[in-house]
Amino acid sequence: MPLPTDSLIEYPSDFPIKIMGIMQDAFAQTMVEVVQRHDPDFHAGKMTMRPSSKGNYLALTVTVRATSRAQLDNLYRELSSHTMVKVVL
C-alpha cells in the first residue's frame, strides 16, 4: 500500500499550472520570471494566455518541467503568495 507521501506524478514530467490575476501590463512577464526561478528552462512559449470575458482578469497556463514534489510545492507557494496572483490551480 502506498504511503501518503507518495506522489501520483512521475518525475520528470511536463506539468501545467493555471495562474489567474488581475489584468495588468506586467502580470505575464512577472509570472514568467517567478516560474523561471523554479524551472530555469521555462520560457514564454510554454505559456498560454486567456483574458476573462470582461477583460478584468488574465488566466495563464504555464507548463513547467516538474522534477520533484519539492520543486512544485515551492513554485505553488511562491505563486500563491505573490501580490499579483488571485488563484493558482
pTM for this prediction:
0.89
Nearest 10 degrees: Cα torsion 6, 9, 10, 16 = -150
Confidence of residue 76 (pLDDT cuts 50, 70, 90): very high
**45-68: per-residue pLDDT in tens?**
999 999 999 999 999 999 999 999
- pLDDT above 70 for 2: no
Angle between helices 69-81 and 27-38 (to 10 degrees): 150
State mean pLDDT over 14-26. 97
Q: Given the C-alpha cell 507518495, which residue does it identify?
A: 6
Confidence of residue 9 (pLDDT cuts 50, 70, 90): confident
- pLDDT above 90 for 73: yes
